[in-house]
Amino acid sequence: MAANPPTAVRPTPAPQGADGGERPRSAPRTAAGRARFSPTAGAWIQAGFLVLIAAIALVPLVAIFVGTFQDGNDVIRRGMTFDVDLGALSLDNYVLLFTDSGPYFRWFANSLLLTVAQVAGTLLVSSFVAYGFAMYEFRGKTLWFVMVLLVMTVPFEMLMLPLYVQVNDMGLADTYTVIVLPFLAAAVTIFFFRQYFLGIPRELLEAGRVDGVTEYGIFFRIVLPISKPAMAAMAILNGMICWNNFLWPLLVLRTPEKFTLPIGLNTLLTPYGNNYELLIIGAFFSLIPILILFLAFQRFFIEGMTAGAVKG
């Protein structure tokens, strides 16, 4: 990824990690370091501005959190408001969620299962493909890699109709297989792994070959074990995509028992719904796994989600 800013000129390394990682506590406490962070007027204005923008960005999330304590029908009818009636807040929705939420936790479990399966499959298959592109010279390599780039830049929306017709003909509609299968060799993930593998010294592979390890053994036993950072970034990226996946499951899933969380939440939004209490708190709870992961692995999120960038 991006190179560190040259540190030769200034002895103090830049406090922000080059990959966007947050490591404020490891910022050096040298005299120079302190001097640079002295609160000047400019810094105060900058800080005030950044906090203001951050606060605006957080409003929708705070609103949905507050909404979990409000009467669902009221929120749907009147919208989310700054003028929250504090006296009317209650835990009723939480009681409902954990006692009488119908299929909600079924959707949750389905999403969880599907996400784990898809992430595991995608990481394995995509890194396998990427290794071929990164480590070998072969005929047609340029052509096939350009295909990866093209696939990477065609939005799924363009493919959805023909793919939908295709899987119906293959008799795969309404299965989890068809949600996962077309995306195991995921272009962005292949691209990212290829970049990562290109940085692995070839001598390591040659050493393996001298020791009699097969081509595939080199991948599984030598390269994969040293690729954990790339795995982490791609696990996060694919996990998030899969957890939030909406359009494709919306097309192929028919049986309510198979619904995933986004599909299920969408069914709660119907005009004749009587489950609005569940809609807000259900939407909020669908965010929690990702928010927890984000707080724990922020660096990998940012690395993964900005993975598509072709570094010039």
The correct pick among 171, 201, 212, 312 for binding another protein (CB under 8 A) is 312
Nearer to another protein, 180 or 231 (CB): 180
Alpha helices for 11-88 (secondary structure H): 31-36, 41-67, 72-78
Residue (94 or 144) nearer to another protein, CB: 144
Stretch of 48-56, 90-98, 99-107, 224-232 contacting another protein, by CB under 8 A: 48-56
Minimum CB separation of residue 83 from another protein in Å reads 6
Name which of 221, 232, 197 is nearest 119 in CA terms: 232
Establish if 204 lies at the interface with another protein (CB under 8 A).
Answer: no
Should residue 89 be labelled a site residue for another protein when binding is judged by CB under 8 A? Answer: no
Stretch that binds another protein, among 60-68, 98-106, 112-120, 227-235 (CB under 8 A): 60-68
Structure tokens at 255: 């049986």
Residues 140-169 that bind another protein (CB under 8 A): 141-142, 144-151, 153-166
* Long-range contacts (CB closer than 8 Å, 24 or more residues apart) made by 123-127: 123/189, 123/231, 123/234, 123/235, 123/238, 125/184, 125/185, 126/184, 126/185, 126/186, 126/189, 126/190, 126/193, 126/234, 127/189, 127/193, 127/224, 127/227, 127/230, 127/231, 127/234
Binds another protein (CB under 8 A): choice among 47, 95, 113, 204: 47
Comparing C-alpha atoms, which of 56, 137, 112, 141 is closest to residue 242?
Answer: 112
The CA distance from 210 to 192, in Å, is 28
Query: Minimum Å distance from CB 112 to another protein?
Result: 14
Q: What are the helix and strand counts (H, E) for the chain?
A: 16, 0
Q: Contact region for another protein (CB under 8 A) — 69-77, 87-95, 102-110, 112-120?
A: 69-77
* Binding of residue 87 to another protein (CB under 8 A): no
User: What are the structure tokens assigned to 17, written together?
Assistant: 């990690």
At residue 257, the 3 state secondary structure works out as helix
Question: By CB under 8 A, is residue 113 in contact with another protein?
Answer: no
Q: Which of residues 240-299 bind another protein (CB under 8 A)?
A: 240, 243-244, 246-247, 251, 262, 265-266, 269, 271, 279-280, 283, 286-287, 290-291, 294, 298
Figure out which of the listed residues 13, 19, 220, 229 binds another protein, where binding follows CB under 8 A. Answer: 19
